[in-house]
């Protein structure tokens, strides 16, 4: 495996015996498969050096960097080699639509994050809003400090507990959403995110 901090132009683990190898491109955040291309040893080394995906065009018999005309580059985050050393899986951050037909993927799938991760980005952006006349709820809560955030989380916890004993499913789900929302705010205030919590749970699962 390679990562964006330790790219090295080496290829001894890759079997270029047939000169070109299939290369699967996957979004590193969503795990959605974006496209399939081909690489030869030269395009592979260029990709490592530039940290952007460069393919080998079989029809034009030349290298081409994805995004060289559209600026929709594929910024490399990880490179994985399959068990036979003749297929690559490259995890990237896409800078715009991947397909030449302006779709997110070459299979017309929509490439988007799980909503919880998107909500985290919204919370992060709202923390530092500068428009004082139109402060959002999140921004106002952030400015009141961690004590108020903790208090609000406690209030939402109690409300969820109360609704847990009632038979109104709609109220229960709304209170659960309120609790999760304020939990994400607290995580951000402490400079953590939901992925940090997931990592802890995954480690516990492996014990």
**DSSP characters over 61-106:** TEEEETTTTT---EEEEEEEE-TTSS-EEEEEEESS--STTS-SST
Residue 17, domain member (yes or no):
yes
> Do residues 125 and 74 both lie within one domain?
no
Q: Which residue has the tokens 């229960």?
A: 172
**Alpha carbon distance 169, 146 (integer Å):** 31
Residue 104, domain member (yes or no):
no
pLDDT at 83: 87
> Do residues 27 and 84 both lie within one domain?
yes
Residue 22, domain member (yes or no):
yes
**Alpha carbon distance 155, 100 (integer Å):** 50
Domain that holds residue 166: 115-206
Three-class HEC string of 44-57: HHHHHHHCECEEEE
pLDDT at 16: 83
Q: Which residues of 92-106 are buried (b: 16+ CB within 10 A; e: fewer)?
A: bebeeebeeeeebbb
> Do residues 40 and 71 both lie within one domain?
yes
Which of 33, 63, 94 terminates a domain? The answer is: 94
pLDDT at 112: 86
pLDDT at 10: 46
Residue 100, domain member (yes or no):
no
> Do residues 10 and 88 both lie within one domain?
yes
> What's the whole-number average pLDDT of the chain?
90
> Do residues 83 and 129 both lie within one domain?
no
* Under 8 Å between Cβ of 112 and 30: yes
Backbone angles phi and psi of 178, in degrees to 5: -60, -40
pLDDT at 189: 95
pLDDT at 3: 45
pLDDT at 11: 47
pLDDT at 13: 74
What integer is the mean pLDDT of 77-95? 93
Q: How many domains does the chain have?
A: 2
Asked if the model's pLDDT at residue 8 lies above 80, the reply is: no
What integer is the mean pLDDT of 183-207? 93
- CATH number, domain of 15, equals 3.10.20.810
Residues of the chain with pLDDT > 70, as a percent, come to: 92
* Under 8 Å between Cβ of 163 and 175: yes
Asked if the model's pLDDT at residue 1 lies above 70, the reply is: no
pLDDT at 25: 98
pLDDT tens digit string along 14-61? 888 778 999 999 999 899 999 999 999 999 999 999 999 999 999 999
Asked if the model's pLDDT at residue 177 lies above 90, the reply is: yes
Which of 36, 61, 94 terminates a domain? The answer is: 94
Q: Which of 86, 74, 71 is nearest to 38 (CA)?
A: 86
Which of 60, 94, 128 terminates a domain? The answer is: 94
Q: Which residues of 150-176 are buried (b: 16+ CB within 10 A; e: fewer)?
A: eebbeebeebbeebeeeeeeeebeebe
> Do residues 119 and 89 both lie within one domain?
no
**Alpha carbon distance 102, 97 (integer Å):** 5
146 pLDDT tier (thresholds 50, 70, 90): very high
pLDDT at 132: 60
């Amino acid at each position: 495996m390679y990562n964006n901090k330790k790219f090295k132009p080496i290829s001894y683990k890759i079997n270029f015996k047939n000169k070109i190898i299939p290369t699967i491109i996957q979004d590193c955040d969503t795990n959605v498969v974006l496209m399939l291309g081909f690489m030869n040893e030269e395009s592979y080394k260029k990709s490592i050096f530039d940290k952007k995906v460069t393919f080998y065009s079989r029809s034009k018999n030349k290298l081409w960097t994805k995004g060289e005309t559209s600026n929709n580059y594929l910024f490399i985050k990880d490179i994985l080699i399959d068990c036979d050393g003749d297929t690559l899986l490259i995890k990237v951050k896409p800078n715009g639509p991947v397909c030449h037909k302006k779709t997110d993927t070459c299979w017309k799938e929509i490439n988007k994050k799980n909503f919880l991760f998107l909500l985290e980005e919204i919370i992060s952006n709202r923390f530092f809003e500068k428009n004082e006349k139109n402060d959002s709820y999140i921004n106002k809560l952030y400015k009141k400090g961690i004590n108020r955030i903790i208090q609000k989380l406690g209030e939402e916890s109690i409300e969820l507990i109360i609704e847990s004993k009632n038979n109104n499913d709609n109220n229960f789900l709304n209170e659960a959403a309120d609790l999760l929302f304020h939990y994400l705010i607290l995580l951000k205030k402490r400079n953590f995110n939901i992925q940090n919590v997931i990592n802890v749970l995954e480690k516990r699962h492996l014990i």
